[in-house]
Amino acid sequence: MPALSSSDLETQGHQRGDLQEIEMVKTSQLLKQLQERLAELEARNEKLEARVRQLEQPANSANGKADGVAAPVRAPAPVSEPETITEETMLVIAAAVAAFLGERAHIRVVRLTPSHAWTQQGRVSIQASHRLL
């Protein structure tokens, strides 16, 4: 490695100093942009909070909530009697199970369960078959 002259070392020192100065300028510009964006977001947040308070006021008065007093909680709706499964439905289920398994099966229990999983899965498959953007 050749020896560097003092002028070469001085030039390298100036270049390093220039690079550091450029990085400081870029950093200060980024900081300024971040501060401006933060101020914009804070102003937007204040507007949204004011709008929420404005929208909640009529809702609270309509619900019977006044001066910070909560409206009374209503009792849940009574649970309806479970639907009974007819003998005809049991025969259809037994036939479907036999067709699926290829042999007759003994069905012990059939219950109706309150679930929206079938409905949701149906929607998922329909939406999956469409090209949604």
Q: What is the spatial distance between Cα 1 and Cα 126, in angstroms, rounded to a whole number? A: 71
Q: Which two tokens stand for residue 48?
A: 């949204």
Q: Where are the domains of the chain?
A: 1-65, 82-111
- Range 124-131 average pLDDT: 80
Please give the distance of CA 133 from its chain centroid, rounded to a whole number.
18
Please state the pTM of the whole predicted model.
0.33
The one-character DSSP state at 6 is H
In single-letter form, the type of residue at position 8 comes to D
- In the chain, alpha helices (H): 6-62, 87-101, 117-129
Q: What is the pLDDT of residues 91-104, one digit of tens each?
A: 898 999 999 999 98
